[in-house]
Amino acid sequence: MNDMKKNNNALLKTISRSLIVIAIAALLVAIPEIQMRAFLSAELAAVEEASRRAGEAAAAAKAEDTPYSRRMLEIAKLEAQEAFYQKYKYRNEFHYYGQFYEMYQQVYKADTIFIGTSHASHGVNPKYIEKAYSGKGNRSFFNFSLNGSNPSYYVEWYKFFKDSGYPTPRTIVYCVDWFMTDLGWLWRRKEFDSNYDCPQYIAKQLKIAEEKAIAEALKSPEETEAPAETETAVETEAVLETEEEKAWFTLEDFLTKFMNSMMIIHNRDRIPEMVGSWFDIAGEDSEAETTVAETAEEELPPLPVYKHNEGIVDGTGILTDSYYKGYITWEAYFDGGTRSQNYNEHPGEWEAFVRLVEQFQKDGIEVIMIQVPEYVPGRRVPGKRDIEANERLEDFAWEHDIPFINYNAEESELNSNPDYFSDWGHMNEIGSTNFSKILIKDLEKVWKD
């Protein structure tokens, strides 16, 4: 009997000690987690303030609708965009944030947009498309391509796009790849953007801040109660909550959800910045030099033009200062060698692609398919599965009356010059510049107006 009591006491002591260890461990994690969340919240609040000012300018433009109020709205939008850039330019893969910022803030409201994988995000540069564009049709351009984006991801992306209220595009240029159904290469999932402190989440919060400011500014003097949120903002929060609840109850997404919900883990690369903020240690960032753009309307305030220090890179080494309307440069040494590239078809991805494109067409959007140049001599695909995949794309385009411009169908300067590439699949700045100038001329030959 005594032995049993001793065993029970020993077990209770072991359990008590274990609980104490767990409690201490939880506390050690909770304290830095709280501190990181406070740091990120302060960072977001600073950008939200710029969005609120843009909302006030939008309300003034809506109430007055004068050239001056519209110009002030343009300026406020650009200033908010610059505030966003300055806060997030060192984040990993800054251009993800930039794409979603445009989606929800609609600075440019492009009517001709590009979607696709990293081959497109580093290969299609709207800056040089605009320079070489004839101007016929008065089109505007934005590159919404995202690294690792597969067809299933873009099905979810299109839901984000519609939720944002972005104007329905005239044309979507889908930058397709022969490996687009391989989930080993194309890893992106919606949670990488929609979870807390991720690109789409942040863009939504800025949208909400702007809409609240608009509602407050337009409120009549006799209204005393708090301004109601606009319908879009309410829907935005509801959609976000629904998405997060689903993520918690999906076993497959649990690890991703956990990593994204623990900010001290998800943002561990930013711990030095957080610690520096406690002591008001200024970072190495230098303020952007602001210059004034010329305008024919001398009576209106000129639009600001922001010039940034060269060589700014984000957390992954991408040249952040090269970012322009969704494009961003990736530079790496490439020896021009040939390497085998395996390709694995994942069930359901082709069906998702078909469903997505057909939805675009149903929504009245003109679709054009292109394949961004690859360094063709630099890859060897077993079984010539790249050829089979491209033939399937060609058949699909023909069946759906979609122009398909494949820049890898035959040898050219674009796909056979190693000086244009950072590896066999990604163009560098020189390559993307030359390609973008050619691309716009080819697009002007095939789009409907």
Please spell the DSSP secondary structure of 61-121, one letter per residue.
HHHH--HHHHHHHHHHHHHHHHHHHHHHTTSTTHHHHHHHHHHHH-SS--SEEEEESHHHH
Instruction: Read off the tokens for 67.
Output: 């050239």
Domain parsing of the chain, residue ranges:
2-446
Closest of 185, 52, 172, 194 to residue 118, by C-alpha: 185
Question: 383: exposed, middle or buried (C-beta count within 10 Å: 0-12, 13-18, 19+)?
Answer: exposed
Q: Cα 406 vs. chain centroid, distance in angstroms? A: 25
Specify the pLDDT at position 228.
46
CA dist., res. 423 & res. 376, Å (int): 11
Provide CB contacts within 8 A for 399, sequence distance 6+: none
Closest of 154, 153, 178, 118 to residue 393, by C-alpha: 178
Rounded to 5 degrees, what angle do the CA atoms 244, 248, 253 make? Answer: 100
Closest of 344, 370, 341 to residue 441, by C-alpha: 370
SS3 content of the chain, % helix, strand, coil (to 5): 55, 10, 35
CA dist., res. 326 & res. 315, Å (int): 17
Quote the radius of gyration of the chain (alpha carbons, Å).
25
Instruction: Read off the tokens for 216.
Output: 């407050």
Asked if residue 376 lies in contact with residue 406, where contact means CB atoms within 8 angstroms, the answer is no
pLDDT digit of tens for each residue in the chain (449 aa)? Answer: 555 655 556 656 666 666 665 655 555 556 666 666 766 777 777 888 888 888 888 888 888 888 888 888 888 888 888 888 888 887 778 888 899 999 999 989 999 999 999 999 999 999 999 999 998 989 999 999 999 999 999 999 999 999 999 999 999 999 999 999 988 888 888 888 888 878 888 899 889 888 888 888 877 665 545 444 444 434 434 433 444 444 444 555 555 555 556 555 566 556 666 666 666 654 444 454 555 444 444 578 888 878 777 777 777 778 888 899 999 998 888 888 888 888 888 889 999 999 999 999 999 999 999 999 999 998 888 888 889 999 999 999 999 999 999 999 999 999 999 999 999 999 999 999 999 999 999 999 999 87
Q: What are phi and psi of 97, to 5 degrees?
A: -65, -40
* Domain 2-446 part of CATH 3.40.50.1110: yes
